[in-house]
Structure 1
Amino acid sequence: MITRTLFEAGIVSFAITILLGPIAIPFLRRLKFGQKVRSDGPARHLSKTGTPTMGGLIFLTGIALSTIWFVPFNPEAILVLGLTLGFGFIGFLDDLIKVHWQRPVGLRAREKLAGQVVLSLLAGALLVLTLSHGTEVIVPFSGFFSPGGVTLDLNLGVFLAFTALVIVGTANAVNLTDGLDGLAAGVTFIAAFAFLCLALLKGKVEVAHTMAAFMGGCAGFLFFNRHPAKLFMGDTGSLALGGGLATAAVITQSELFLILIGGVFVLETLSVILQVISFQLFKRRIFRMSPLHHHFELGNWSENKIVLFFCGLTIIFSLLGLVGGYNIWW
Structure 2
Amino acid sequence: MIYHILLAFVATFILTCILGKLGIPVLKSLHAQQSIREEGPESHQAKAGTPTMGGAFMMIALTLGVAIFAPWNVATGMILFLTLGHCLLGFFDDFVKAVKKRNLGLTAKQKLLGQFILAAIFCYCLTEIMVIPTTLWIPVVDTYVDLGIAYYVLTFLVIVATSNAVNLTDGLDGLASGTSAIAAIAFSVIGLMFSSSTNAMAAESIAYFGAMVTAVCLGFLVFNTNPAKVFMGDTGSLALGAAFAGMAILTKTELLLVIIGGIFVMEALSVVIQVISFKTRGVRVFKMSPIHHHFELLGWSEQTVVNRFWFGGAVLAILGVLLATVSM
Task: Give per-residue Cα distances to partners, 1:225-256, cap 9 Å, x unaligned.
Answer: 00000000000000000001110100000011
Contact 1:16 1:61 in 2 (8 A): no
- Shift of residue 140, structure 1, vs aligned partner: 2.5
Partner amino acid for 2:166? V
Q: Deviations over 1:39-97 (max 9, x none)?
A: 11111111101100000011111111111111252211121111110000000000001
Distance 2:111 2:275 in 1: 21
Partner of 1:190: 182
In 2, the alpha carbon distance for the partners of 1:325 and 1:108 equals: 38
C-alpha distance in 1 between matches for 2:11 and 2:92:
27
1:18 offset after TM fit, Å?
A: 0.2
Q: Percent identity?
A: 42
Paired AA for residue 172 in structure 1: N
CA deviations 1:142-195 (Å, max 9, x no partner) are: 2xxxxxx1112121x322221110011000000000000000010010100111
CA distance in 1 between counterparts of 2:21 and 2:70 reads: 28
Q: Secondary structure at the match of 1:325?
A: helix
User: Shift of the alpha carbon at 1:323?
Assistant: 2.2
Q: Which residue of 2 aligns with 1:146?
A: none
Distance in 1 (alpha carbons) for counterparts of 2:90 and 2:325: 37
State the TM-score, normalized to the length of structure 2.
0.96
What does residue 145 of structure 1 align with? Answer: none
| Alignment gaps of 5+ in structure 1 | 143-148
Q: How does 1:1-330 map to 2 (within 5 A)?
A: 2-142=1-141, 149-155=142-148, 157-203=149-195, 204-329=203-328
Alpha carbons 2:33, 2:99 under 8 Å: kept: no
**Shift in Å, 1:304:** 1.3
Give the 3 Å change call, closer, same or farther, for CA 74–307 of structure 1 in structure 2: same
What is the one-letter code of the residue matched to 1:188? Answer: S
Quote the Cα distance in structure 2 between the aligned partners of 1:141 and 1:268: 26
The runs of 5 or more residues in structure 2 that have no matched partner are 196-202
Does the aligned pair in 2 maintain the 1:12–1:62 contact within 8 Å?
A: no
For 2:220 and 2:236, locate their aligned partners in 1 and report how far apart those are by CA, in whole Å.
Answer: 10
RMSD: 1.1
Once residues 160 and 295 of structure 2 are traced to their aligned partners in structure 1, the CA distance between those partners, rounded to angstroms, is 26
Partners of 2:71 and 2:185 lie apart in 1 by 21
Runs of 4+ in 1 over 4 A off after TM superposition: none
> Secondary structure of the equivalent of 2:145?
strand
User: Which amino acid in structure 1 is aligned with residue 159 of structure 2?
Assistant: I
Q: Does the 8 Å contact 1:37/1:48 carry over to 2?
A: yes
Q: Count matched residues.
A: 321
Deviation at 1:327, TM superposition (A): 4.0
Structure 1 residues 290-299 or 101-110, which shifts more? Answer: 101-110
Mapped partners of 2:208, 2:22: distance in 1 = 26
